């Protein structure tokens, strides 16, 4: 369902903000609707989210403001963590509760069998995206074909399920804790798991609990954000480098930091690394991302001097 309409209010001037807001997205909202609502409350001039959550999903949606948008791809590419609730003993045309539900075989397995089947879905594997998805085929989203009753061929994609733990199991309800690579469709995982159990399954509820090194600790709901005054909202912003927190850090002396911000390569006595975060030494300030090849520090995404000064 669409988010509720807000009453008209005087338009507030937009401002430049730099940072990351950890939003706990509510049920029924698209990721973009939630982004626009938060952007309006923050009065931010530039913002973006870091990976779509379906309206039926809740949970962690990092929002990037200003300079942090330069590093949003890091969060998009990061591993994700979910708590998923599966309804066993049926199948859905959309693989979730929005589709037509066809009853399946009543579940008839024990805990040992359930654990063995779940274990089979851990590791690298090929997954076929669901028809009800935003992936494009010949310029049209797959869900457009699906709504027209057309089933089109879909290539499988290589994904990795790092962990799949059973949280609870009671008759026809199974709750699992999943850590997986980007691009993993939990709806498809639920349906495949149900087929492997011989009874069918569809995704009843989904909550994203983590992306990369970020979790729900410190995340704020839209209602909580709305209840804060302006200083309270600004205090919820995390610095842009929180998106790169699990990367190695390189600290440059003042003279080298200025040259790095111009894009010049710097010689460093460090081993090669595909991705590092770079800081000025005094005062300590985040400068951007880089990689190290052959003893050279090569800039990838840089903050402007103004963004460095105004980074929270």
Same domain, 58 and 90: no
Can you tell me the mean pLDDT for 63-92?
Answer: 95
What is d(CA 246, CA 213) in angstroms, rounded to the nearest whole number? Answer: 7
Same domain, 96 and 194: yes
For 7, counting Cβ atoms within 10 Å of its Cβ (0-12 exposed, 13-18 middle, 19+ buried), the class is exposed
Please give the pLDDT value at position 271: 93
Q: Which domain holds residue 269?
A: 247-310
Tokens 């669409």 locate to 2
**Which tokens sit at 253?**
């002396």
For 84, counting Cβ atoms within 10 Å of its Cβ (0-12 exposed, 13-18 middle, 19+ buried), the class is buried
What is the tally of structural domains in the chain? 3
Residue 63 has pLDDT above 80, yes or no: yes
Q: What is the DSSP letter of 228?
A: S
Please give the pLDDT value at position 312: 44
What is d(CA 2, CA 32) in angstroms, rounded to the nearest whole number? Answer: 11
Is 9 within the bounds of a domain?
no
Contact 166, 193 (CB under 8 A): no
Residue 10 has pLDDT above 70, yes or no: no
Distances (CA, A) of 291 to 239, 281, 294: 21, 18, 10
**Which tokens sit at 138?**
């010949």
Residue 23 has pLDDT above 70, yes or no: yes
What is d(CA 290, CA 70) in angstroms, rounded to the nearest whole number? Answer: 13
Can you tell me the mean pLDDT for 37-61?
Answer: 93
**Which tokens sit at 71?**
């590093």
Same domain, 291 and 277: yes
> What length does the chain have?
312
Please give the pLDDT value at position 9: 53
Can you tell me the mean pLDDT for 118-123?
Answer: 97
Residue 254 has pLDDT above 50, yes or no: yes
User: Which of the following is catalytic: 24, 54, 96, 241?
Assistant: 54
Q: How confident is the model at residue 307 (pLDDT cuts 50, 70, 90)?
A: confident
Please give the pLDDT value at position 132: 73
The question of whether 126 is a catalytic residue gets the answer no
Q: How confident is the model at residue 155 (pLDDT cuts 50, 70, 90)?
A: confident
Please give the pLDDT value at position 6: 54
Q: List, for residues 91-113, the tens digit of each pLDDT value.
A: 999 999 988 999 988 999 999 99
Same domain, 189 and 88: yes
Same domain, 98 and 48: no
Domain of 297, CATH number, reads: 2.30.130.10
Same domain, 39 and 74: yes
Please give the pLDDT value at position 3: 61
Please choose, from the candidates 55, 72, 54, 60, the residue with its C-alpha nearest in 3D space to the C-alpha of residue 22: 60
Please give the pLDDT value at position 311: 46
Residue 310 has pLDDT above 50, yes or no: no
For 300, counting Cβ atoms within 10 Å of its Cβ (0-12 exposed, 13-18 middle, 19+ buried), the class is middle
Residue 5 has pLDDT above 80, yes or no: no
Q: Crossing angle, helix 111-120 and helix 186-197, to 10 degrees?
A: 130
Tokens 């430049």 locate to 16
Q: How confident is the model at residue 149 (pLDDT cuts 50, 70, 90)?
A: confident
- Mean residue pLDDT across the chain: 91
Could you tell me what percent of the chain has a pLDDT over 90? 73
Domain of 93, CATH number, reads: 3.30.2350.10
Same domain, 207 and 104: yes
Q: What is the secondary structure of 218-263 as a DSSP string?
A: T-B-HHHHHHS-HHHHHHTPBPGGGGGTTS-EEEE-HHHHHHHHTT
What is d(CA 139, CA 207) in angstroms, rounded to the nearest whole number? Answer: 30
Please give the pLDDT value at position 140: 78
Can you tell me the mean pLDDT for 205-209?
Answer: 97
């Amino acid at each position: 369902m669409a988010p509720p309409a807000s009453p008209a209010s005087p338009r507030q001037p937009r401002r430049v903000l730099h940072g990351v807001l950890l939003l706990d997205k509510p049920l029924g909202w698209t990721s973009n609707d939630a982004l626009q609502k938060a952007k309006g409350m923050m009065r931010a001039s530039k913002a973006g989210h870091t990976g779509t959550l379906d309206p039926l999903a809740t949970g962690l949606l990092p929002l990037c403001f200003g300079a942090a948008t330069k590093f949003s791809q890091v969060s998009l590419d990061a591993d994700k963590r979910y708590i998923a609730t599966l309804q066993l003993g049926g199948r859905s045309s959309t693989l979730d509760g929005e589709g037509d539900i066809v009853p399946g075989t009543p579940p008839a397995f024990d805990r040992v069998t359930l654990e063995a089947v779940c274990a089979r879905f851990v590791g690298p594997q090929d997954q076929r995206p669901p028809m009800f998805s935003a992936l494009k085929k010949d310029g049209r989203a797959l869900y457009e074909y699906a709504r027209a009753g057309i089933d089109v061929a879909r290539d499988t994609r290589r994904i990795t399920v790092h962990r799949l733990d059973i949280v609870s199991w009671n008759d026809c309800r199974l709750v699992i804790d999943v850590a997986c690579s980007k691009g993993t469709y939990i709806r498809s995982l639920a349906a495949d798991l149900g087929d492997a159990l011989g009874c069918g399954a569809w995704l009843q509820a989904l909550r994203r609990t983590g992306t990369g090194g970020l979790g729900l600790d410190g995340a704020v709901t839209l209602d909580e954000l709305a209840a804060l005054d302006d200083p309270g909202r600004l205090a919820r912003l995390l610095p842009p480098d929180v998106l790169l927190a699990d990367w190695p850090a390189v600290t440059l002396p003042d003279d080298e930091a200025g040259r790095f911000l111009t894009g010049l390569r710097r010689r460093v006595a460090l081993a090669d690394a595909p991705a590092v975060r770079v800081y000025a030494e005094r005062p300590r300030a985040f400068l951007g991302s880089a990689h190290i090849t052959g003893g050279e520090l090569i800039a990838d995404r840089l903050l402007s001097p103004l963004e460095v000064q105004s980074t929270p």
